[in-house]
Amino acid sequence: MSDDVEHRFENIDWEHVSDSRRVVTTERVVFVCGMALVLALALYDYRSDDLFLVARWRPTFTDWVFLSALVVVMAYAVVPLLRWVRRHGVRRSTLRERPAVLAAGTFLALVGTVGLLSPVVMSTPPLRFEHAFHPPVGFSSSVVPTDCLGRETGEPFERVCHGTWEYPLGTNERGHPMGYLLVEGARVTLYIAVISLAFIIPFAGAVGVVAGYRGGRIDDLLSAYIDVQLSIPAIIVYFVGYMYWGPSILLLLAAFGLLSWGGLARLIRSEVIQRRSDGYVLFARSLGASERYVTAKHVLPNSTNTLVPSLFQLLALFVLLEAAVAFLGFHHLETYSWGATISESVNAAVEGQLHDRADDPAYRIWWVSTLPAVALTATIVSLKILGDGVRDALDPRGERGET
């Protein structure tokens, strides 16, 4: 080799290595304490005669599943990520220096915060059909509500209602403020993402890792199971469950989540097969490292270039599938997802066609579909952009930070 080449050994974080062998870790402490808190709140809610647990929030079974999933995500995703950032910082040309990635992360953080706090700080507004299809502030509409709160102009038979600050984003056909519907849609999106991250995606990862690392008959059996699973149409399973149990976010995730992770598992399997024979993996195994340690510390971190974007893309797919099912009307009437809100306007009456929803063409009540459509599109795009940014930040083969 040339004398200009700098020879050095990679710095090893022995504190991190020793932490991995401890029984009491930060992740386990957060998990146990979080689950204990959720269980205590659930028992209190079950035995309490109060109508609401906190403020105006009365949790359902889906809420408790979400809170449990949130604890899992905090313990085994957020805590390791914060530890990684503290030890390694953020590399050049990654999150901090990419405005698109930073904007995507900020938007998703806003959606998550709004969705998390909405059940506590907001209550369901009453039905006000007299205020149906009130236009947003700064706009006017010839679809005049029975009680127009803003300024009215035009002839008696051609009235135009102008927006008012009482409904800054307008209202839907039931007189619900669009701001409330956007916030409720954010809550549904948050539930989909967190529950998927906590339960569905780890299961796909476990199957892919075991199949790829063990190989042999185990690989054949798991690969055959993935093939069978992918051949079952998730939409049919959801419709069958809808007939017997009615609409539910958990039913949606059970149908699409448990039958749609095969692609991710296959991808993880192929990456593990490719990495398990690399030199650093063989060297670690020759030093006596366990299969679990080698997989967690060497194989998966060096597969982030492919796995992380696929993971975020799967989350975006679940969000889009929920919106599509709600758009078709297969959702609970009190679950105000973005897809259901879009449907209220798009399914409006059109001249020459027969519809049984709204009585006005969609373009005349454009805000009912446009606002949730923009929020849904921004969420899906942000998930994909953030996935690329996180991949570049976590990939150990990428460029190190400034020295």
Query: Average pLDDT for residues 75-86, to the nearest whole number?
Result: 82
Q: For 33-47, 208-222, 384-398, which range has the lowest pLDDT when averaged over its residues?
A: 384-398
Tokens of 376: 């849904």
Phi–psi pair at 23, nearest 5 degrees: -75, -40
Q: Express each pLDDT in 246-272 by its tens digit.
A: 878 888 888 887 787 888 888 888 888
Helix (H) or strand (E) run with residue 303 in it: none
Q: For 186-190, 235-239, 358-362, which range has the lowest pLDDT when averaged over its residues?
A: 358-362
Q: What pLDDT, on the 0 to 100 scale, is given for residue 350? A: 42
Tokens of 42: 């659930």
* pLDDT of 338 higher than 60: yes
Question: 171 pairs with which residues across the strands?
Answer: 177
Nearest to 116 by CA among 78, 70, 51: 70
Residue 185 and residue 187: Cα distance in Å, rounded? 5
What does the mean pLDDT of the chain come to?
A: 79
* pLDDT of 213 higher than 70: yes
* pLDDT of 280 higher than 80: no
Query: Average pLDDT for residues 32-52, to the nearest whole number?
Result: 82
Q: What pLDDT, on the 0 to 100 scale, is given for residue 111? A: 93
Phi–psi pair at 153, nearest 5 degrees: -135, 170
Distance of CA 359 to the CA centre of its chain: 34
String of DSSP letters for 140-208: EESS--SS--S-EES-TTS-EEEP-TTSTT-B-TT--BHHHHHHHHHHHHHHHHHHIIIIIHHHHHHHH
Q: Express each pLDDT in 359-403 by its tens digit.
A: 667 778 889 889 999 999 999 999 999 988 888 777 655 544 443
Q: What pLDDT, on the 0 to 100 scale, is given for residue 156? A: 72
Q: What pLDDT, on the 0 to 100 scale, is given for residue 7? A: 42
Q: What pLDDT, on the 0 to 100 scale, is given for residue 359? A: 62
Q: Which residues of 114-131 are buried (b: 16+ CB within 10 A; e: fewer)?
A: bbbebbeebeeeeebeeb
More confident residue, 375 or 161: 375
Pairing outcome for strands 140-141 and 160-162: antiparallel
Q: What pLDDT, on the 0 to 100 scale, is given for residue 4? A: 46
Q: What pLDDT, on the 0 to 100 scale, is given for residue 208? A: 84
Provide the pLDDT confidence category of residue 90 given band limits of 50, 70 and 90.
Answer: low
- Burial label, 179 (beta-carbon count in 10 A; 0-12, 13-18, 19+): middle
Provide the pLDDT confidence category of residue 12 given band limits of 50, 70 and 90.
Answer: very low
* pLDDT of 352 higher than 50: no
- Name, of 56-65, 109-118, 125-134, 252-261, the range with top average pLDDT: 109-118
Q: Are 170 and 178 in contact (CB under 8 A)?
A: yes
* pLDDT of 50 higher than 80: no
Q: What pLDDT, on the 0 to 100 scale, is given for residue 11? A: 45
Q: Are 175 and 131 in contact (CB under 8 A)?
A: yes
Torsion, Cα 111 115 120 124, to 10 degrees, reads: 110
